[in-house]
Amino acid sequence: MRQILIGGAWPYANGSLHIGHIAGLLPGDILARYHRAIGDKVYFVSGSDCHGTPVAIRAKQENKTP
């Protein structure tokens, strides 16, 4: 059993959804599922640099709470 680390980025919260979001997330998900299926221990982690101000601004534009 190998230990596999996969890093993925979340889509920006202050932009509209598009096919690029899937293109950025899907390969890591497929890779993680493959390695889990063959018995490897997988750590699939993500981070986000769009927490805070961009989220608050977008929420205000949409009359929502962040």
Q: For the segment 10-52, what is each residue's pLDDT rounded down to a tens digit?
A: 776 667 778 887 888 899 999 999 999 999 999 999 876 666 7
- Local confidence band at 64 (pLDDT 50, 70, 90 cut-offs): very high
Q: Does 63 have pLDDT greater than 70?
A: yes
Global pTM reads 0.64
Query: What's the pLDDT at 66?
Result: 77
- Residue pair 16/54 in contact by the 8 Å Cβ criterion: no
Cα–Cα distance, 45 to 50 (Å, whole number): 16
Which pLDDT value is given to residue 53? 78
